[in-house]
Amino acid sequence: MRQKSKLFFQALKYSIPHLGKCMQKQHLNHCNFADHYYNKIKLKKYHLTKCLQNKPRISELARNIPSRSFSCKDFLPIKQEDEKPLSENMDAFEKVRAKLETQPQEEYEIINAEIKHGGFVYYQEGCCLVRSKDEEADNDNYEVLFNLEELKLEQPFIDCIRVAPDEKYVAAKIRTEDSEASTCVVVKLSDQPVMEASFPNVSSFEWVKDEEDEDVLFYTFQRNLRCHDVYRATFGDNKRNERFYTEKDPSFFVFLYLTKDSRFLTMNIMNKTTSEVWLIDGLSPWDPPVLIQKRIHGVLYYVEHRDDELYILTNVGEPTEFKLMRTAADTPAIMNWDLFFTMKRNTKVVDLDMFKDHCVLFLKHSNLLYVNVIGLADDSVRSLKDGRLVPMTIFHKTDSEDLQKKPLLVHVYGAYGMDLKMNFRPERRVLVDDGWILAYCHVRGGGELGLQWHADGRLTKKLNGLADLEACIETLHGQGFSQPSLTTLTAFSAGGVLVGALCNSNPELLRAVTLEAPFLDVLNTMMDTTLPLTLEELEEWGNPSSDEKHKNYIKSYCPYQNIKPQHYPSVHITAYENDERVPLKGIVNYTEKLKETVAEHAKDTGEGYQAPNIILDIQPGGNHVIEDSHKKITAQIKFLYEELGLDSTSVFENLKKYLKF
């Protein structure tokens, strides 16, 4: 088997250069280069239902990359669980819900990283890394492997765990809420587990086993939010730690991914629009890595492996057809990327009266209604969005009456090709229980409808996202969901660009706004190349320092640049003192300018005018976001209720069921 693998790897070295030449000459059409260079390729077409079964879940790495940086979660192939029928999934959901309802509500907590390997489950219990036998995972019978307090960090937690192939070692990445810096600890598994080593500033990491049955840990080192260096280390009697790759282009970053069969380690080098993958033989990790395809501007691809075949997921090719090429061992396979991103969950398609003839996806449970509006057919709305149909997701109680008089909280993001997060948060649940409508606007710039959806909302098309947001809110009002005086808008990080721009261009749609770690001074930030992420994000926002077109376009929508004397909605901003991704200086400058302009407008308007409240809440410490800060959550809810003149007594009583005050 090992000899067969070496032959495969050797064949790969000779076949890959042909792929590169073909991609350049054939205008990046995977059908052309496949037909021209490989006469053994078999082309298969899969129905969308086949795609649905393989939709990936979010990896640990993706969950913990804050949102103003690029997240690999849209692209990384990750380990999946067997797909179950919808009825079985609902049964499992009912069991979880019943379990939550029988335990004291105040014990609610976020579960950290967990991984199964061999016959054990590895996870965090209290302040310790522990493991227990798989069948005893729900009991308190576990083995303590490492006490996180040894690192002398403030409230440390584990956000990623990797176990060596033969379970001789386990590695865990540990960080705190107020810092993005992560420490990777390596624990030797024995009768008395002991920490073998620790490495600072680690981003991604994976284990492989070499031909001498020695465990090798590959990891990337992050400096100033930039991940450019790759190391490999061994432990025990043959300790060594060496850097073997450094990315020279500051606009690219590196992350590691182990193929699902653990056969190859892929070294992924990419920026927002371009990627390059090197393959490391899992059986010979000390050999030089093999380049799959050198970077070509605009070409993104990822590599998987199964049964001596490589599969390449790429944006090369036509976006209207899903194609899977199974090939000989020395030939990569190609899947169309756009349809990969438009896969939908197994939910029932129906028509609801409230949307007339609009097609929606919905999941009804208890007294909650989940509605995903796939298309809005109103001609006046289509014209506002340049003829594009923009998805929205709406939550409200099914027994709500007169929705036009209900408060509305709109969520938006629209950047980096990332989906708008709709994960469970206690404060969102209590708002719905208290009669609020929650609406999620999946505007261009995000990733919900594929790569083109992202491309249509970045660089000199960023205003498309603003047009989508305006049209979504106007459509909500037109369909009978709330009204401007009861409408609020919230966003995090890069979503602040669209919210700030809407406050400048169409403030009458809103009553109040909450922003967290918002990106508000796009122009000055993107002109400062000393900041950690500026060079990396030129592909998203443009280069105003060298391109006058980009500079003028950014000026046209930048929230800070376009503040003007007019009536604004009230604004509550939560910022973090040590935020490395969104400079605090830009947020402070925006707030001060907005306050001055609001005061100027109030003075010119005269007596009787009620000026909006502009609040900046700077949280001490912190990095880019502290998700479960009770102070932050309560401050934001208090602000929304006061601005809308609502009684907040019941909402805070309900919130206490979930959060420990």
Which residues participate in catalysis according to the annotation?
493, 579, 624
CB atoms within 10 A of CB 420: 21
Q: Which two tokens stand for residue 651?
A: 């909402």
Number of helical (H) and strand (E) elements in the chain, helices listed first? 17, 31
Phi and psi at residue 633, to the nearest 5°: -60, -50
Q: Which residue has the tokens 């401050």?
A: 635
How far is residue 355's CA from residue 353's CA, in Å, rounded to a whole number? 5
Assess contact for 164 and 213: CB atoms under 8 A.
Answer: no
Task: Give the dihedral sign, CA 241/246/252/256.
Answer: negative
Which of 496, 444, 490 has the alpha carbon at shortest distance from 471?
Answer: 444
> Long-range contacts made by residues 216-223, C-beta under 8 angstroms, separation at least 24?
216/285, 216/286, 217/164, 217/169, 217/171, 217/186, 218/256, 218/265, 218/280, 218/285, 219/184, 219/256, 220/254, 220/255, 220/256, 222/181, 222/182
What letter represents residue 39's amino acid?
A: N
Distance of CA 178 to the CA centre of its chain: 19
How far is residue 17's CA from residue 32's CA, in Å, rounded to a whole number? 16
What interhelical angle do 630-644 and 426-433 show, nearest 10? Answer: 30
Which of 306, 323, 392, 305 has the alpha carbon at shortest distance from 314?
Answer: 323
Residue 294 three-state SS:
coil
